[in-house]
Structure 1
């Protein structure tokens, strides 16, 4: 099975550089020319089977296809559930979580290689085997047209193509007549506008390694951080991911950092452009962006602002005496960067800000302890599977997925049969809770974290509010359903801490955002300079996050009715109104964190039901059920295409998808629609049961994670946890009622 990079990246001899065509591609049967998009996942059934074999738990089921809904009995569903639960339990790690390849974004791994190249650390972190597997992965993710996408699921883009091409070159690959992959990659880049048409982030990355000029970039001025914090435009009020990425970016931009100019860099200066490098009009390049990458076009106001900053403001800050202000701004930024590094244990909020911070530390002092502590933590992000080695999009999603895995197990009514599995899951949740605040957190624009959970584990200290809500809910559920199997229960004080942090993260209108409270006005999104991503400036509230908040608070007050009762009741009421207000005319909700409308609608229904809405008393729930039923395919399943995230309309994928089918089933089950007409759920259950593999698991299909409406990645455990959950609820709510 694919496994984390762990600590396998210790110092090693310099890897041999390849000077011929790559010979480590997968076979033609699975090459980019013939592989389906479904194959581009980093945790497959084959990999999981290998891991289960290590645990001596490989099983083969006699899977019988269901021909008619009348064949679906409680015994059939129990057989399916036990099959997947047996296999799935064998995949649990010793610390209780389920490992998986949380991967799919194509520019993260290149940025890591760029950072290692600039700091001269490639051979300190990566062995020749690492390099071999990284190159194999990049070649395997290459599209048929020769380019690479920004995500592995998506068309070729200038962003993905430039940075992946450059990565292969930095790792020793040469575009000779034998290397078809590099030749096709270069051809795609040249035929779509050359690297001058790369979007903002790609231009910055290419500038750092020296194959693009800094004067071809729009300014990212560090002086913004010197403004009073009460101003809406202060970066401390921006979305956490945005400010933590643009903070080191502004330092790197102001310093005009460029890595060593090697023969490979000089060669790439010729390969990535259609005119000689010294003839490029960099001011024209600054305003250029490939059409495929232009997801968020700049407004006329932004164009004027950027031109003014480029022509007037930036030159002034580089002249005496204004350069004194620039230096103060950079010193201030490094204080923030060091704070982030120390409090995230050099993991960072995400891999992007982690490696950018690493570059900044190296520029400040190549021998400093901060830079040295960054290097081994590169391996926290590396992941290897059948298709090669890549980077995860985060240090993991262990806590996030664990919360849903627990709820899925509990839905089956079979937790007593999997006591050891449940106990280890419970221990993981207890051990992953953040138990203290970061020191002086308000001065660094952070919020309290004591009592929260991160997306991965407690080590990076970045609280994620909806993860906290789901983990709290999972702990409360286990305390009621599996109290004999969980071992030493968590202390009540830590549950109170979780509620306290949730209430602290709740916006004034009772909603929940993704990382922190909403700190600034929505109109500031016009400042978004990325060109490639939407909704990155303001941490807007989301129906899914608000739903998780409502569910957790309702579950908590059932057991602890006296704790902060009035505040909790007020939030539940206002949060439910927000969910109703954000419902679309067709009855759906847009899902911001997965693909897409089945996801958003499932969460919205569950939140409304927790707040007391029912199919009978809520038109929102009835309309949501009508929406889901209208999208059910003739086979009985549901399947959404990722393009729906971009166009913000439901796009049918033409075939059923395990996760979409389960989300729709769960939405209908929690809404109580089955009491009116159970047939749609029987049809869905038939389709889902027939998807089960002979290992007991469910197939890896197109990845379903979504970020900023434009980045797509894999939640590795969704394909198994959601079928467990959906069939568990189906058995408990419908079959038990009917039988």
Structure 2
């Protein structure tokens, strides 16, 4: 995220040298120098080398002004090239590189913005992907339809990170093509690449208008679209590309939401992906309860943040279910999740105060309404498990969907079991049956969250 923020500043030509210098300190400080990551950047502290993170970090440091012959830049470049070069970055990174003119748009899968117009019966729609994919992709599809070029005032390029010059790369679109779905979607991408330029201008304009309406409805003040950095940053770039002035209310609030995620210290700075105080407070509250410490203040704080009046995207597949959840991403009312709701609900129940009874009841009602048909629970949506979508070239990051998982299911069962309501027996039994079916041979269960 810190590297992406620097690139965003250079995309917009809104460069703050002092801030970028501090981000540079942070990026150099987390550069790998160990066996599984000898010079690149990981996705998490101490993790193995990640190509996409490393290319973005190198690009950001070069934008900041680091000399390409400095030891840390040489080391990063060597490990990137040793792993195949920047052509082997993931789709989201290649789109970012295309926006800077560092790779041709042929490096990116075709994802027509007209997808936002597709009806529910269509195999690929924005309603069939996860909440985070939906919020990230909607402004991104508008960008991809228009293919703008970053201002990039210092004209920074990263040609040195490619084993083969980008204009000569012929195998950009790769994926899990061992399956029939994979082969099908690869050929579909080839077809769309040929015919996209013939799409009616009227339908493209209508799609861009609908995408903007979706974003505006969920713009969410200075907490941002989806309350996650990638969606916010894409929204800022979209507004810029559409010609919105920086002082336009929508552009200004989108930019403010991005800036809100910055953590600036005396000697370094970084950008967070989101805020998560509900989850943190819920877990800390359980720890305090175990230790016999007071939890009333934490419970009161959480009570005020229950989403009771916003019917979010989740309602599409559970009509009639009233909202009653909590959101992991702070102040994200369109996208609460059952995981946080179960943890907070259990904490409020442990508190034993009658003033929490209605909140617990609404949380229970919402969680029961969010159970998928296989008896399990996904985090943000019901039945978000159309696995064929994981085989489209765009989905190489492996996080397009929000399928039901064992860890989330276990927490929902724990909440319902703790309440002990007789009417929840069927829901609990279905959940337990799912867990029995998905236990691994070694006795463990898969956990995503």
Same fold (TM over 0.5): yes
Residue 216 of structure 1 is matched in structure 2 by 107
Q: Distance in 2 between matches of 1:387 and 1:507?
A: 48
Q: What's the CA shift string for 1:294-328, capped at 9, x where partnerless?
A: xx634464664455445432342323x62332222
Residue 453 of structure 1 is matched in structure 2 by 326
Q: Distance in 1 between matches of 2:250 and 2:305?
A: 25
Cα distance, 1:134 vs structure 2:
0.9
User: Within the alignment, does 1:159 sit opposite 2:46 as a pair?
Assistant: no
Q: Distance in 2 between matches of 1:297 and 1:151?
A: 25
User: Within the alignment, does 1:258 sit opposite 2:149 as a pair?
Assistant: yes
Q: Is the 8 A contact 2:279 2:340 kept in 1?
A: yes
Residue 317 of structure 1 is matched in structure 2 by 196
Residue 40 of structure 1 is matched in structure 2 by none
Q: Is the 8 A contact 1:511 1:546 kept in 2?
A: yes
User: Within the alignment, does 1:116 sit opposite 2:9 as a pair?
Assistant: yes
Q: What's the CA shift string for 1:118-157, capped at 9, x where partnerless?
A: 122333xxx61x3222111111111122222233332223
Cα distance, 1:260 vs structure 2:
1.6
User: Within the alignment, does 1:577 sit opposite 2:433 as a pair?
Assistant: yes
Q: What's the CA shift string for 1:259-292, capped at 9, x where partnerless?
A: 0254432xx2433335666xx224x15236xxxx
SS in 1 for 2:56: helix
Q: Is the 8 A contact 1:119 1:259 kept in 2?
A: yes
Cα distance, 1:387 vs structure 2:
8.8
Residue 162 of structure 2 is matched in structure 1 by 273
2:350 to 468, 471, 477: 477
Q: Distance in 2 between matches of 1:334 and 1:150?
A: 31
Residue 425 of structure 1 is matched in structure 2 by 298
SS in 2 for 1:455: coil
Q: Distance in 2 between matches of 1:372 and 1:461?
A: 21
Q: Distance in 2 between matches of 1:398 and 1:373?
A: 22
Residue 526 of structure 1 is matched in structure 2 by 391
User: Within the alignment, does 1:194 sit opposite 2:85 as a pair?
Assistant: yes
Q: What's the CA shift string for 1:157-215, capped at 9, x where partnerless?
A: 32111100111122222324xx2112222232333332222221211111122222212
Q: Which has the higher contact order (CA 8 A, sep 6+)?
A: 1
SS in 2 for 1:373: helix
SS in 2 for 1:264: coil
Q: Is the 8 A contact 1:527 1:537 kept in 2?
A: no
1:544 to 370, 391, 407: 407
Residue 207 of structure 2 is matched in structure 1 by 329
SS in 1 for 2:270: strand
Q: Is the 8 A contact 1:232 1:520 kept in 2?
A: no
Q: Is the 8 A contact 2:337 2:379 kept in 1?
A: yes
SS in 2 for 1:183: helix
Q: Distance in 1 between matches of 2:251 and 2:321?
A: 27
SS in 2 for 1:383: strand
Note the aligned Cα RMSD (angstroms).
3.0
Q: Distance in 1 between matches of 2:347 and 2:333?
A: 21
TM-score by length of 1: 0.55
Q: Distance in 2 between matches of 1:404 and 1:475?
A: 12
Residue 363 of structure 2 is matched in structure 1 by 498
1:381 to 261, 264, 274: 261
Q: Distance in 1 between matches of 2:152 and 2:337?
A: 40
Cα distance, 1:218 vs structure 2:
1.7
Cα distance, 1:452 vs structure 2:
1.0
Q: Distance in 2 between matches of 1:338 and 1:307?
A: 33
Q: Distance in 2 between matches of 1:578 and 1:254?
A: 42
Structure 1 portions without partners, runs of 5+: 1-107, 289-295, 484-488, 594-739
User: Within the alignment, does 1:405 sit opposite 2:270 as a pair?
Assistant: no
Q: Is the 8 A contact 1:242 1:537 kept in 2?
A: yes
Q: Is the 8 A contact 2:244 2:251 kept in 1?
A: yes
Q: Distance in 1 between matches of 2:216 and 2:320?
A: 17
Q: Distance in 2 between matches of 1:547 and 1:440?
A: 23
Q: Which moved more, 1:138-147 or 1:448-457?
A: 448-457
- Structure label with greater radius of gyration: 1
Cα distance, 1:491 vs structure 2:
4.8
Change (3 A) 1:170 1:302: farther
Q: What's the CA shift string for 1:341-379, capped at 9, x where partnerless?
A: 247842534211121122112212331321111122223
SS in 1 for 2:269: strand
Q: Distance in 1 between matches of 2:144 and 2:318?
A: 22
Q: Distance in 1 between matches of 2:99 and 2:56?
A: 12
Cα distance, 1:236 vs structure 2:
0.7
Q: Is the 8 A contact 2:131 2:335 kept in 1?
A: no
Change (3 A) 1:439 1:224: closer
Q: Is the 8 A contact 2:111 2:144 kept in 1?
A: yes
2:29 to 140, 145, 151: 140
Cα distance, 1:529 vs structure 2:
3.0
Change (3 A) 1:439 1:161: closer
Change (3 A) 1:537 1:448: farther
Q: Is the 8 A contact 2:308 2:324 kept in 1?
A: yes
Q: Distance in 1 between matches of 2:272 and 2:191?
A: 40
Q: Is the 8 A contact 1:349 1:462 kept in 2?
A: no
TM-score by length of 2: 0.88
Residue 84 of structure 1 is matched in structure 2 by none
Structure 2 portions without partners, runs of 5+: none
Corresponding residue pairs, total: 443
